[in-house]
Amino acid sequence: MEKKRSLTSEEISAIVDGFGPIDRVQMELLAKMPPGKRIIPMLQASEMLRAGLRGTFRKKFPNLSMSEINMKILEYLTYMDKNYGHI
């Protein structure tokens, strides 16, 4: 088993360079929420993503049923997760 090493400050800087600024107010609001409710914003964002994909796929594939479009969305999200990590 490979021994883990600590990241250098340069490596950490390289990782976080692409992140947007931290919204401290949002972080404080989330920290005050009970753990069960912290997941709600993530679920809402996930549903918004799927709704956007559903609309896009409806325009791109007008002859498909809703079930077929949902399968295309599942196929797309699985592909993205497999090739690029979590979405």
Flag whether the pTM goes above 0.85.
Answer: no
Instruction: Output the tens digit of pLDDT for each of the chain's 87 residues.
Output: 567 788 888 888 888 887 888 889 988 988 999 988 988 888 999 999 999 999 999 999 999 999 999 999 999 999 988 888 765
Distance CA 77, CA 57 (A): 13
Question: What is the H or E stretch that residue 7 is in?
Answer: none
- Residues in the chain, overall count: 87
